[in-house]
Amino acid sequence: MKKTFRKIFDMKENDPEQQEQPENAAGQPETAQTNPAPKNEDHKIQELQQQLDEARNKFLYLFSDFENYKRNAAKERIDLISTAGREILSALLPVLDDFDRALKNGALTEGTTLIHNKLTHIARSKGLSPFETKPGDEFDADRHEAIAEIPAPTEALKGKIVDITELGYTLGDRIIRFAKVVVGR
């Protein structure tokens, strides 16, 4: 500790700026140069300050870009995980449709009814769910696919859904198959 203090003290004694300067009549130390720092040094300081500001702006821009990238990558990862089985579930939808048609016609035995229920349960546990569409609902091009247009049986069904041929399904929040419907005109 004493050595460090001694080194600092010795450095100050040998430093010409730290040594006492004779004072002039105004009580200020006399120096060889009474002019303020040269303009060249001021210009260098301003230039360095400008470079620092530019570097700080670049850093902030890159930092915000990286934060956006991390947020988007996390969102994409979550979307990928939630829709990982999309292709497989889409391929199984015609099988579910066949089961549903057979169930409506009373052509299923007890065993095949159990298989249908099990398949439906597995698909729902993976996030697949049919969205509700009923005859009389308004036709919505974002959720329905019109496969036919027939004369409406009543005035109330004009421009509305008359029949549903295939249910529409969502996987998570995304529609993976539109409901195929017949629309009244």
Q: Residue 168: its pLDDT value, please? A: 97
Domain count of the chain? 1
- For the whole model, what pTM was predicted? 0.60
Per-residue CA distances from 13 to 1, 17, 18, 19 (Å): 18, 9, 7, 6
Per the structure block, which two tokens stand in for 47? 């230039």
Q: Residue 114: its pLDDT value, please? A: 93
Per the structure block, which two tokens stand in for 44? 């260098």
The answer to whether residue 30 sits within a structural domain is no
Measured on CA atoms in the order 26, 29, 32, 36, is the torsion positive or negative?
negative
Q: Residue 57: its pLDDT value, please? A: 96
The answer to whether residue 31 sits within a structural domain is no
CATH of the domain at 134: 2.30.22.10
The answer to whether residue 104 sits within a structural domain is yes
The answer to whether residue 17 sits within a structural domain is no
The answer to whether residue 72 sits within a structural domain is no
The answer to whether residue 132 sits within a structural domain is yes
Per the structure block, which two tokens stand in for 59? 């850093």
The answer to whether residue 33 sits within a structural domain is no
The answer to whether residue 93 sits within a structural domain is yes
Question: Which residues in the chain belong to E strands, given as ranges?
Answer: 128-131, 144-150, 161-166, 168-171, 174-177, 179-184
Domain that holds residue 127: 86-184
Q: Residue 33: its pLDDT value, please? A: 52
Reading the chain (185 residues) residue by residue, the pLDDT tens digits are 445 545 554 554 555 554 455 555 555 555 545 555 568 899 999 999 999 999 999 999 999 999 999 999 999 998 888 778 888 899 999 999 999 999 888 888 999 999 999 999 999 998 899 999 999 999 999 999 999 999 999 999 999 999 999 999 999 888 999 999 999 99
